[in-house]
Each structure stands twice: as C-alpha cells, then as structure tokens.
Amino acid sequence: MGSSNLSALLLLGQESDPKSERGVSCDGELPEASDPALVARAHAARKSLGERAMILGHHYQRDEVIQFADITGDSFKLAQEAESNTSAELIFFCGVHFMAESADILTSAKQKVILPDLAAGCSMADMATANQVNDCWAALEKVGVASKTIPVTYMNSSAAIKSFTGKNGGTVCTSSNAERAMKWAFEKGEKILFLPDQHLGRNTAVLNLGLKLEDCVTWNPWKKNGGLLDSEILAAKVILWRGHCSVHGRFTLENIDQMRTKLPGVKILVHPECQHEVVQNSDFVGSTEMIIKTIEASPVGSKWAIGTELNLVQRLANRFSDREIHFLDKTVCYCSTMNRIDLPHLVWAMESLAKGRLVNQISVESETAKYAKVALERMLALP
C-alpha cells in the first residue's frame, strides 16, 4: 500500500504493543494452515458471532474462504450488502483494502469493517497515490483544462482517490457501468481523467463510446508532465492514468491465438481490464458478474477460455463440469494480494472478535470519507 493511501486509513490491530486495547497483531497468533481442526474452529467462531457478524467474499477469493461467506459478489455489490445489513455490527470483508474502505464509507458509524489480513492490498489501486493525482491535476490547471475535465475513478482505487474525485465534480465507476459513467462525464465536461486503470478506460472509450485510440493519451505519474506535451493534453478527450491490473494485464493476443488453435470453436471471454488488443479480439467482454452469468447461460458442451482471476475460473470449471472451461493464460496466475486472505487469517480475526478483541478494523478518515461518498453517490444516481 502506498504511503499516501495509508494516510486515509486508521489500521487498527497492528500496534507494536500486543496488549493494546485497540487491537492486536496477528503475528505468531495465526492458526496453522494444516490444523485439522481449522474448519471446525471457523464454524465455531462464526456461530459464536451470530447475527452480529457478516462475512463478505469477493469472487476472486479462495474456496476455503468462500465457503464461509454469507454473500459473494464483486466489490461494490458487497459494499452495498454491508450497507443494507444494518443489524450486522461486524463486517468481515474477504477481499482487498480498497473494497473494505468502500464498505466503511457506506456503512454506519456503529458498524466495523474488518480486513482479515492488512497486507491484502491492490497493486492497481496503489498505482495512483493522492500526491501523484494532485500533481496531475495541478498540471491540468496550468494548461487550462482542469475546469473542463471530469475525473472518473474506477472502484479499484483508494478512498483518497475517490475523495479527490468527489471534490472535483467526478464520479466512481465499476467495470459494468464505466460506459454510463463516462457518458455522464462528457455531458458535464469536455475531457475525462480516468483513474487508475488505463485498460478499462481505453476499452470503454474506444469500444463503447466510439472514440479513436488517438483521442486517448496516457498520463505517466513517474514522468514530468505525465510524459505528455501540453499540445497532447489539449487535444486529448480522455487522459488515462498509467495503471493496470497485475492479473488481467498478463493476458495477451498470443494466448488467444494459442487457445483458438488448441480448441477449435472455443469462445474467449475476458474482463475489460485486459489490454485493448485482447479485448478487441475476444468473443465476449464483461465484468466479473457478467462473466459468471455468461457461463451460467451457456449451452452444455460449449468451450470457453476465460481471462480473469484463476480462483473464479477454477470455481466455474468445477461448477459447470458439463462445459469445457479453461484459464486463458497457460501460466497459472492468482491475484497474490487477494490470496493473502486465507482461512487461518479469517479464523484468527473471527476468534479475536468473538473474544472481544478488535483487530484489523478499516476506518477511513471522516473528511476523506465525506467526499468519497459524494463520488459514490453520483455513481448510484447515474441513469
């Protein structure tokens, strides 16, 4: 997690003093992954927490964690479920830190959001820090286009970036409503600053909105003026942040060609976080929820190569064994940070809370949360 992202969080449970009243570190306290009683301990801890607790499981989580989830879904769906369940005092978010942040922003003050492992971050979210985005905005002001530019940030961003977006008249989007969000932004301004995933922004702009590739420029936060000439910024309709998903960015056109050669008749189904040429040459493109629904509706015996996180692909292959379902990349690749949430961490967190010890609470600073919620509410108000 970037240093500026840390400033937006109060991460409880990581004090150096293990006797702190605010929480305890899990170092040295985790159950062994090989503990034969681990599943039984998880059931017992869950039962002891009762209706006070709610366990949310993202689609990319391991099966050992998903089996204990009360609800599974994508990040925003899970945050909304936490918001609607006002009787749940303890929200165990089995996902990554930006997801837990969104849940904390949307839930009430009496609810506590717990991330079983604080090291479960998101490389994409960390590719856009608050300082970097502020520097970018200052550069747009200097060129004279900031007032005409509407920021749109992907849900996969820190609370600090959502807050920046809310302060500057922008909105949040998901992979399923990015087209609507960008259309809304163009109604409000002449340009879009799309954060932090360049691929979702580019794919939506070109394949859904009909813009040309040359209408989009990429802002590199590690280069002076984003690596762009002022004339390029002035001419651009969409300024894409140079960020990407470490999993979806791996899939290549070569993967597609190899799969089509190996399995004649195979359908390629990918997430819009994939590179432009991958999305352009696939048969179906959509969000995680859309990927699941597409396979659910597919005919028996159909062949699929799916470009998304491996845990989900394996789960779909097991669930629909009467279809032929493959991972698009021949190299096995899990989301390394998502996979930090495992059963030992979940059991530790539940047992700690059952004993009255608050651990690993994600709490977004009030001013940051205020404007981040403005951006989220703008998204909810989209037609």
Give the Cα separation of 303 and 311 in Å (integer).
18
What's residue 193's pLDDT? 98
What does each C-alpha distance from 129 to 19, 175, 191 come to in angstroms? 33, 21, 21
Question: DSSP letter at 155?
Answer: S
Give the Cα separation of 376 and 362 in Å (integer).
18
What does each C-alpha distance from 220 to 98, 197, 200, 227, 380 come to in angstroms? 22, 12, 16, 6, 30
pTM for the structure as a whole: 0.87
What's residue 18's pLDDT? 31
What's residue 35's pLDDT? 85
Give the Cα separation of 310 and 73 in Å (integer).
16
Question: For 101, what's the count of Cα atoms within 13 Å in the CB-facing half-sphere?
Answer: 34
What's residue 74's pLDDT? 86
Q: How confident is the model over 233-258, as pLDDT tens digits?
A: 999 999 999 999 988 999 999 999 99
Q: In what order do the strands lie in the sheet with 216-219?
A: 171-173, 149-154, 191-195, 238-241, 216-219
What's residue 26's pLDDT? 67
What's residue 27's pLDDT? 64
Give the chain's domains with CATH numbers.
3-121+339-364 (3.40.50.10800), 125-244 (3.40.50.10800), 248-327 (3.40.50.10800)
Please list the ranges in the chain whose pLDDT falls under 70. Answer: 1-28, 332-333
What's residue 339's pLDDT? 80
Residue 269 burial by Cβ neighbours in a 10 Å radius (0-12, 13-18, 19+): buried
Amino acid residing at 141: E
What's residue 28's pLDDT? 66
Phi–psi pair at 273, nearest 5 degrees:
-80, -5
Helix, strand, coil fractions of the chain, as percent rounded to 5? 45, 15, 40
What does each C-alpha distance from 151 to 141, 166, 194, 275 come to in angstroms? 13, 9, 6, 21
Phi–psi pair at 225, nearest 5 degrees:
55, 30
